[in-house]
Structure 1
Amino acid sequence: MRYVRRLDLSEIQETAFIRRGANFSFGQTAYPDGGEFRVTSGAYAALILLETGTMSTVIDRNRRELHAGECGIFINRTGRRSTYAPGSRVMWCETPLLKSALPARSDFLGDRVRASQRIFTLFREGINCGLNSSPTLDTLRNALGEALFAAWRIEAGQDVIGHMPPSLIAAKSYIDQHYAEKPSLEQLASVAGVTPPYLIDLFRRHQGTTPIRYLRNVRAQAALRLIRHTDMSLASIADITGYGSAFHLSREVRLMNGQSPRSIRQRGIHGQTSHTMGDATRLLDDQHQSLRPAFERIRPMVPPIPVIDIAALRHGSSAERKVVAAALGRACREAGFFYITGHGVAPEMMSRLFEASRIFFNQPANAKEKVAMSRLGKNRGYVGLGVERLDTTSLPDNKEAFNISPHNVDDADVWPDLPGWRDLMMAYFTTCLDIGAALHRGFARDLGVDENFFVDKFKNPMATLRLLRYPPSLSKHANQAPGAGAHTDYGNVTILAVNGVSGLQVRPRGSDWMDAPLIPGTFICNIGDCLMRWSNDVYVSTPHRVLRPEGERYSIAFFLDPDADAQVEPIVSQQGESAHYPPVSGYDYLQERLQATYGHQS
């Protein structure tokens, strides 16, 4: 069964960011020995098809990539620099950018698309027009350019669907047809034939959002279409689209659009930068709603990762804590990542920790295997290279780790035979617990509950301290195993220290991958799926990964999960809102996620 309506080129009247009758130019360039192409100015849109090789492009200070057989549209305003691998060959079609057609920070539209035979043919015909100018050639070249950009838009919608697992397609189709009924996560998982956690993972991986956020987006867009194109009352629109009341509809419209329904109706348009829970900007007019799935993630929104001094959360006044809590809340709603200072950990302690980590991982294999997780169980002990696979669609991770989980107590000898090692690690573990408690006071205050809301839920938390070693990359081969595959963290918050070798990348909602630079003296923190669930999707858990480093990389990550018997029940702070998830114990939630990570071995 297909869920994408095939479109004819005649249905695409114009492309939102180029003007009708614009001048198009075509070209083809080969880079047998590799090379670089640089443009320093000019506002234009370029549709680029990479026939062979690879291309890495920095455009308006953001990096994008294409691989052989892929094409994508690049928006240039201040400059573009493309680096081509040896043996690369590229075809391109460029046209002036329609002023004010795109949000100021757009530079890459949608995912990379596999080039179809239709796109190849249009490119070749345009290149065959040559560089000469005449009324006939110019008309033909411009017609081919318009057809090529329109074809890309159609192919983009079909290509995204082509990459989707059937279970995800089924869930999305059900939402598209039943959004007014507000189906629950459990209902959607049942339709898709998967578990709720797995469905959430599918949506995050392929859509950059969660099922519930996607549902809210579909409902909101349906309401906006009725506001724009009909004279129905808001109460009637709210009833049809499942909002229940004009008040709740108006609030949602203001949240996603920044305008009241009355203003939207008077203007007759939605405006140019419609934000749906921060996930997407709609570049297309509503007449192209059938292409919605391909373009909900069009604008690369790259919120900066803020640096937040949390000292006030540890020993500040109520007013000072309020300021810090608000900063944490902004970071958790936008980037999902933040750096912290004022944490109270001395540089000398971090040096000792990394040296102790290096000593452990440089032991002989048989020494590490004595404390292997495969022997000890309970998420503790040594994990060898290739055991984990955080991205279930990728190769196993090329890293080794040692997990310290003091909440799992029994008679097993879980520590390596290294003098002073256990005491050092437990001292740092306790320090991280204190930092985590301070952060949770900030989270609670920002979410509108008592500062001590989380205290009784973290009396004996299922926290894990992980020492990690990533071997250096020995080749540039694209198919080598990642350092750590793309994933979101399981728990509430992660506190990460790195030894000076970079490699962490994050992917904020609606954006491409971006580097998370190292800032001396800071920890980099991110919220996990459990806190996102607890916040009722107010906070966002951001995908991240670790690239294979050129040099040996060590990091120390502290993962803070709630008590095993804590009830993770969404905090509903907005009037009229309902919980997006049912209550679940901390233990049951963590076990579901661990099974997804280690299950590939069974």
Structure 2
Amino acid sequence: MQLVAVDYTAENAQEAFVQSLRETGFGVLKNHPIQQSLVQSIYDNWQGFFDSEEKQDFLYNKGKQDGFFPQSVSEVAKGFTKKDIKEYYHYYPWGQCPDALRPQLDQYYNEANTLAKELLGWIESHSPADVSKHYSQPLGNMIKDSDQTLLRVLHYPPLQGDEELDAIRAAAHEDINLITILPAANEPGLQVQAKDGSWLDVPCDFGNLIVNIGDMLQEASGHYFPSTTHRVINPEGTDVTKSRISLPLFLHPRPDVKLSERHTAGTYLQERLKELGVI
């Protein structure tokens, strides 16, 4: 099995994309509306930010979770003990951000949210009736006016050779949210776990857009759409000297949105954040 990029403009794009999500939890799009030039410019500008000491002026707010998270407080994936080898910035439209970098992030945030609403419509349209009847409202409406949707600018620094044994850039994990939208990073490394336990490389051609199911959509769909385990492995050879930047947008419903009989989006998020030790 392999992940194949679906042409966003093709007549069968919706069916092929949703089928990929159903089978693997991941879908890859090419010829989509997000401008490659915008993504590249964000990568370039934020590489400069992570290379500077300015980042220390935007340290994260523990309560709000916006701002810069240094490697010293990097996440530990559920079931793991080693911190991921990464640093990152949490951007919300209402949160802190360097003035010079805000307009681009805001543009990308809005464009990716618009595309996400369309893709959620595709998912709902191609959900079987016995699955979609459990959606408490249209999937696209779940993210409408949400202030919880998070844009994370991720920086995986060059490896120095003194990293903790078994530590990798992002240990195997699942996302908490509804869906995640991710432009292909500037370096390879993203892998998704197949049903047989093997690891598949996610197509990383620059210009591709990667979409994956999160735990909240898995919950809302009664596990029809799987929240699939994925990771970012360490580079080898000369690639160890290269930074890797990626730009995942985690689409979160409003906290009051009902996901299932057991959970609203708010209660589900709180439960998972406690499990991860974030709160």
User: Which category of TM-score, normalised to the shorter sequence, fits these structures?
Assistant: 0.7 to 0.9
CA–CA distance in 2 between the matches of 1:442 and 1:404?
27
Match of 2:219 in 1: 533
Structure 1 runs of 4+ with >6 Å offset: none
Match of 1:341 in 2: 30
Match of 2:59 in 1: 372
1:390 to 53, 77, 97: 77
Match of 1:445 in 2: 125
CA–CA distance in 2 between the matches of 1:340 and 1:598?
34
1:329 CA displacement: 2.7
CA–CA distance in 2 between the matches of 1:504 and 1:595?
26
Matched ranges for 1:247-262 at <5 A: none
Per-residue deviation, residues 135-178 of structure 1 (Å, max 9, x unmatched): xxxxxxxxxxxxxxxxxxxxxxxxxxxxxxxxxxxxxxxxxxxx
Q: Give the aligned CA root-mean-square deviation in angstroms.
A: 2.4
Relative distance call for 1:376 and 1:477 in structure 2 (3 A) is closer
SS in 2 for 1:350: helix
CA–CA distance in 1 between the matches of 2:217 and 2:114?
18
- Residue pair 2:188, 2:204 contacting (<8 A) in 1 also: yes
* Larger displacement relative to structure 2 (542-551 or 433-442): 542-551
SS in 2 for 1:370: helix
- Residue pair 1:304, 1:335 contacting (<8 A) in 2 also: no
Per-residue deviation, residues 38-78 of structure 1 (Å, max 9, x unmatched): xxxxxxxxxxxxxxxxxxxxxxxxxxxxxxxxxxxxxxxxx
Match of 1:280 in 2: none
Match of 1:304 in 2: 2
CA–CA distance in 2 between the matches of 1:562 and 1:352?
28
1:394 CA displacement: 3.3
1:477 CA displacement: 7.5
1:403 aligns with 2:90: yes
Greater Rg over alpha carbons, structure = 1
CA–CA distance in 2 between the matches of 1:478 and 1:359?
26
Q: Which amino acid aligns with 2:140?
A: V
CA–CA distance in 2 between the matches of 1:562 and 1:494?
12
TM-score between both structures, scaled by the size of structure 2: 0.87
Matched ranges for 1:56-75 at <5 A: none
- Residue pair 2:28, 2:203 contacting (<8 A) in 1 also: no
Per-residue deviation, residues 163-197 of structure 1 (Å, max 9, x unmatched): xxxxxxxxxxxxxxxxxxxxxxxxxxxxxxxxxxx
2:272 to 590, 593, 596: 593
- Residue pair 1:509, 1:542 contacting (<8 A) in 2 also: no
The count of residues paired between Structure 1 and Structure 2 equals 267
The higher relative CO (CA closer than 8 Å, separation ≥ 6) is in: 2
Give ranges in structure 2 of 5+ residues lacking alignment: none
Q: Which amino acid aligns with 2:122?
A: G
Match of 2:145 in 1: 460
Match of 1:567 in 2: 258
CA–CA distance in 2 between the matches of 1:381 and 1:478?
26
Per-residue deviation, residues 367-386 of structure 1 (Å, max 9, x unmatched): 3233222x353231111104
Matched ranges for 1:430-509 at <5 A: 430-447=110-127, 448=129, 449=132, 453-461=138-146, 462-475=148-161, 479-509=165-195
CA–CA distance in 1 between the matches of 2:43 and 2:56?
20
- Residue pair 2:184, 2:207 contacting (<8 A) in 1 also: no
1:415 to 97, 119, 125: 97
SS in 1 for 2:27: strand
Matched ranges for 1:262-301 at <5 A: none
CA–CA distance in 2 between the matches of 1:386 and 1:596?
19
Q: Which amino acid aligns with 1:566?
A: V
Give % identity.
27
Matched ranges for 1:34-73 at <5 A: none
Give ranges in structure 1 of 5+ residues lacking alignment: 1-302, 313-319, 570-581
More helix by share: 1
TM-score between both structures, scaled by the size of structure 1: 0.42
Q: Which amino acid aligns with 2:272?
A: R
- Residue pair 1:470, 1:553 contacting (<8 A) in 2 also: yes
- Residue pair 1:482, 1:548 contacting (<8 A) in 2 also: yes
Match of 1:218 in 2: none
1:311 CA displacement: 4.0
Relative distance call for 1:351 and 1:496 in structure 2 (3 A) is same
CA–CA distance in 2 between the matches of 1:355 and 1:363?
13
Relative distance call for 1:544 and 1:324 in structure 2 (3 A) is same
Matched ranges for 1:77-92 at <5 A: none
Per-residue deviation, residues 526-583 of structure 1 (Å, max 9, x unmatched): 11111111111111111111122322111111111111111112xxxxxxxxxxxx34
Relative distance call for 1:544 and 1:499 in structure 2 (3 A) is closer
CA–CA distance in 1 between the matches of 2:33 and 2:111?
9
- Residue pair 1:324, 1:442 contacting (<8 A) in 2 also: no
CA–CA distance in 2 between the matches of 1:345 and 1:329?
19
